[in-house]
């Protein structure tokens, strides 16, 4: 790893901070800080969540909110733009890139550009290829900085993604990170040479917080965790639980998470006569999620490709379950088979196939020795490929490449 005569300072750009569900970003930041990286967090909007994970309190990086009026007047817009041009002379050419962007994004990019220069930021890194990356890209042009971003799932696959916009973001970035080999192939197939700078870095886990335990003697509990939206496939899980009940299989199922389909799922559970078997618990703090997983015989992630094209990338909670020793059953959607290797580190069934899902759940519930075999091999894979300290070190090498090119950060060894 190269050594520099100064400490590089990186600006992390996110849409909202903190977010209850985006623990992977917080864990990434904490791992960077543990390694000695200096960070500032820039958020485009205040959080709309009412509860936060405990790990938020451990983040030392200062947070700057790039506040923009809900109704942005022409005067406010031009005042900010002219102040930025005055304070960052020679960067007016970057305004050409802002021609097709929203006034709010341009306004926040101008704020970010000035704040980044004032704070000594040498590189910007955004999470999700949506508004956070739009603002980071424009700010990099206004301030004469480099930028990179991490693309996840909805920001790549959803029908609302504008391919021309995404291609420009990719080709202008110093580097693009994404969370699976599947995503790398998808972007490179779609954008060709423009996506030659895309690389895979898996979301990592702090394994010291996720101790392995043998699942052999756990109660017959199925746990599923995630937003209550189509792509999680929870409708198929509820249908599979109906089949398990018909077969007189001893089980209970907990679905943890909130979302727009809660009422629909609860109505379906009631209609199927499952209210004593299947419970929706709402969102829970991370410590309670871990405690629930530690008592689970099976973790179910029956992910599907939604009607709108949306799909999971590689769910962090699936990796957490594998780390904790929970045998997992999932589908071959996007990057999931890179973690769940069928009959080796878990079970893979076809998406939207309730019969196959039922059979897999029954098998895991009924074969405790197989649960142990799969769980042990899953833990070994997680330790090898998904350790957060190893994976964030790779990301810091991207930042090193960016900051070594700046005048005030000279390589000394």
Question: CA–CA separation, 230 vs 400, rounded Å?
Answer: 39
**What is the H or E stretch that residue 45 is in?**
strand 38-46
Structure tokens at 282: 């709402």
Q: What is the pLDDT of residue 352?
A: 97
Where along the chain do its domains lie? 9-204+387-403, 207-385
Higher pLDDT, 412 or 38: 38
User: 0.85 exceeded by the pTM?
Assistant: yes
| Cβ–Cβ under 8 Å, residues 275 and 242 | no
Structure tokens at 302: 């029956």
Cβ neighbour number for residue 377 with a 10 Å cutoff: 16
Question: CA–CA separation, 148 vs 128, rounded Å?
Answer: 11
| Cβ–Cβ under 8 Å, residues 348 and 336 | yes
The reply to whether domains 9-204+387-403 and 207-385 share a CATH topology is yes
- Kindly report the average pLDDT of the chain as a whole number: 91
Residue 31: which residues within 8 A CB-CB, separation 6 or more? 204, 206, 388, 389, 392
Q: Does CATH place domain 207-385 in 3.40.50.2000? A: yes
Note the CATH number of domain 9-204+387-403: 3.40.50.2000
Structure tokens at 182: 């599947």
Give per-residue pLDDT as tens, 121-171.
Answer: 999 999 999 999 999 999 999 999 999 999 999 999 999 999 999 999 999
Residue 60: which residues within 8 A CB-CB, separation 6 or more? 33
Nearest to 108 by CA among 173, 13, 9, 172: 13
Give ∠ CA 25-316-397 in degrees, rounded to 5.
50
Q: What is the pLDDT of residue 412?
A: 41
Give per-residue pLDDT as tens, 271-299.
Answer: 999 999 999 999 998 899 999 999 999 99
Confidence of residue 80 (pLDDT cuts 50, 70, 90): confident
DSSP 8-state assignment for residue 193:
G
If phi over 0 gives left and psi between -120 and 50 gives alpha, with beta otherwise, what is residue 90?
Answer: left
Give per-residue pLDDT as tens, 367-388.
Answer: 999 999 999 999 999 999 999 9
Q: What is the pLDDT of residue 83?
A: 83
Nearest to 131 by CA among 45, 25, 227: 45
Above 80 in pLDDT, residue 6? no
Give per-residue pLDDT as tens, 229-256.
Answer: 999 999 999 999 999 999 999 999 999 9
């Amino acid at each position: 790893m190269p050594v520099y005569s100064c400490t590089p300072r990186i600006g992390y750009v996110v849409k909202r901070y903190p977010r209850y569900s985006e623990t992977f970003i917080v864990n990434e930041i904490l791992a960077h800080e543990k390694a000695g990286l200096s960070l500032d967090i820039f958020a485009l909007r205040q959080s709309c969540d009412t509860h936060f994970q405990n790990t938020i309190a451990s983040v030392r990086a200062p947070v700057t909110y790039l506040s923009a009026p809900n109704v942005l007047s022409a005067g406010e817009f031009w005042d900010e733009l002219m102040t930025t041009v005055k304070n960052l002379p020679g960067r007016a050419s970057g305004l050409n890139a802002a021609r097709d962007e929203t006034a709010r994004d341009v306004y926040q990019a101008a704020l970010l550009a000035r704040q980044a220069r004032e704070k000594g930021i040498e590189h910007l890194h955004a999470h999700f290829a949506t508004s956070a990356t739009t603002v980071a890209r424009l700010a990099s042009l206004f301030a004469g900085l480099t930028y990179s971003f991490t693309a996840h799932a909805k920001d790549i696959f959803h029908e609302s993604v504008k391919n021309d916009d995404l291609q420009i973001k990719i080709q202008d970035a110093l580097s693009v990170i994404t969370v699976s080999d599947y995503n790398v192939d998808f972007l490179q197939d779609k954008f060709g040479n423009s996506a030659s700078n895309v690389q895979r870095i898996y979301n990592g886990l702090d394994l010291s917080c996720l101790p392995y335990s043998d699942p052999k003697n756990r109660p017959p509990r199925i746990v599923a965790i995630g937003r209550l939206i189509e792509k999680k496939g929870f409708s198929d899980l509820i249908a599979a639980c109906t089949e398990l009940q018909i077969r007189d299989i001893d089980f209970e199922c907990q679905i943890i998470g909130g979302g727009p389909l809660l009422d629909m799922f609860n109505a379906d559970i009631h209609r199927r006569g499952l209210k004593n078997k299947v419970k929706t618990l709402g969102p829970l703090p991370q410590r309670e999620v871990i405690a629930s997983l530690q008592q689970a015989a099976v973790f179910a992630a029956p992910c599907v490709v939604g009607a709108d094209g949306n799909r999971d990338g590689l769910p962090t909670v699936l990796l957490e379950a594998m780390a904790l020793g929970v045998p997992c059953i999932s589908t071959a959607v996007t990057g999931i088979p890179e973690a769940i290797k069928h009959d080796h580190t878990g079970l893979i069934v076809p998406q939207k196939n309730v019969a196959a899902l039922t059979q897999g759940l029954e098998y895991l519930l009924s074969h405790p020795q197989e649960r142990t075999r799969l769980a042990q091999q899953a833990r070994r894979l997680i330790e090898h490929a998904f350790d957060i300290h190893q994976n964030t070190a790779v990301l810091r090498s991207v930042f090193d490449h960016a900051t070594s090119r700046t005048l005030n950060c000279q390589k000394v060894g």
